[in-house]
Amino acid sequence: MLAVLLGLGASMAHAQPDTGSAVARSLDELSSSERQDDSLAAPAPAPASASTPSCRDYDTFVSRGSEAPIITTCETLSPDLLGLRPKLYENGWMFMGFYSATETYDLRGQEARPQTYNGQRPSFGSTLSTITTYDLSRLGWWGKRSQLTFEANSWRTVYRDAGLNDDAAVAQLSVQQEFADGRVRIQYGYYGMLGQFVGLFLGASTASSALGPTSIIPNLVGMAGFKPAPGMDIRLYSKSGRFYDHFGVARSQSPDGFLVDSKANPSGLKWSVEGTKPIYVNEIGYRVASTANTRMTWIRQGTIYNRTLYTDYRNPERKGTNRGFYLVADHQFTQPDTSLPYRGWYVNVKANHAPAEHNIFSSDYALTLYSLAPFATRPGDMVSFGYTRTEVSDDARRYLGAAGMDPVRFSSTGSVSYALRAFRGIYWVNTLSYTRNPVVTSQHPDAVNLQSQLTFSF
């Protein structure tokens, strides 16, 4: 399941437009608010002199493109990277790195071999991510605020069926360009579409986010996640910057699933994988940032169409194209301190659907309550309470039953998670979850998983 991989997830960036128009200013306010959510700490230190850049200056070249805001350089272990970032900044370069280590265990002690779900046995995993960007606008003909992004990841896990097994690969190699004063943004190259559209993290950032329920349906329908695929997407914004349409096309993930796709694409740069065709995604949305006068709201609806042929569980000798739909909404409903407008309680609701004849899971629903800076004395922390229910499709159940298996009707998880800012550049996230039916193809006792993750940003 994709939710299993959240503890191993690669770091992703958030897009920012040009500052020369109303839409650009609106979106820059959104990005600034999100970056404030990332650090949730004291203001950035002032530069030593007018000629010395500050960590906020370095953020100008932080990787852009994904819906998960990358943490500000002010919140890394060494904002100037031991003196390296000022030199990189002068030449249009940027380098960031992240290391996370995660341990998951079912507190009910239901160990078994072979392991059938994450945490059934003590499950350790780690991820090392490095992100390098270059300001292509310096070359002139690329246009304003154009950027080259190169990301490389290394994964390690003792759970051999998680899909990322002692693996190292390119996670992103792409170019982003902007036109019409930021109202048109184009990205092309190799990257994971899940991060560009649906997003994988709640309210804060890849480093500081308390985990909540995440749907696996967009991934099952073919949207690539942690291993990239060649693709292109375009964002179109209204004059205010609040309304947008986002369209993308890319190579589909393998119809046989993430594990097969990962093994077939070891470097992350493979142009084609056997049995795959293009996948198309269109998302429309409305997004407002937290300010002293407004509360954060983000509503988006997406439609997915995949030309890749998937097994038809009604007739296994026949195959057909796949599709999916998602609706996600976030809203901030409290704002106790206008000087820290991001602070408060939020609600996140999700609904996903996919055809029963082509997918193991036909629908899921999730509700999460989360708070950024839940305590005035802990502005860098985050807490979340979530519940999700995933329905196993009737067609898949009949197919698995005919094969001699005993499939369940659904799987549900309730969770509570706390992200603690232990120190600048260090986050400690602990999640306790209760899962009914942790294994789809057999009746299995409920699981009570405790997951602990340390993330270092540098």
Backbone angles phi, psi at 41, to 5 degrees: -140, -165
Q: What is the pLDDT tens value at each position of the chain, 458 positions in all?
A: 333 333 323 322 223 223 233 333 333 444 444 443 443 333 334 444 447 889 999 999 998 877 766 788 999 999 999 999 999 999 999 999 999 999 999 999 888 777 788 888 888 989 999 999 999 998 887 778 899 999 999 988 887 665 566 678 999 999 999 988 889 999 999 999 888 887 665 544 444 444 444 568 898 999 987 789 999 999 999 999 999 999 999 999 999 988 888 888 889 999 999 999 999 999 999 999 999 999 999 999 999 999 999 999 999 888 999 999 999 999 999 999 999 999 999 999 999 999 999 999 999 999 999 999 999 999 999 999 999 999 999 999 999 998 888 899 999 999 999 999 999 999 999 999 999 998 888 778 899 999 999 999 99
Cis peptide before 355 (omega within 30 of 0): no
Please check whether residue 4 is in contact with residue 165, taking contact to mean a CB–CB distance below 8 angstroms.
no
Tokens at 99, concatenated: 């290391």
Say which residue the tokens 């049995």 belong to: 275
Domain 2-457, CATH class in plain words: mainly beta
> Residue 366 is which amino acid?
A
From residue 294, alpha-carbon distances to 335, 340, 357 in Å are: 9, 12, 44
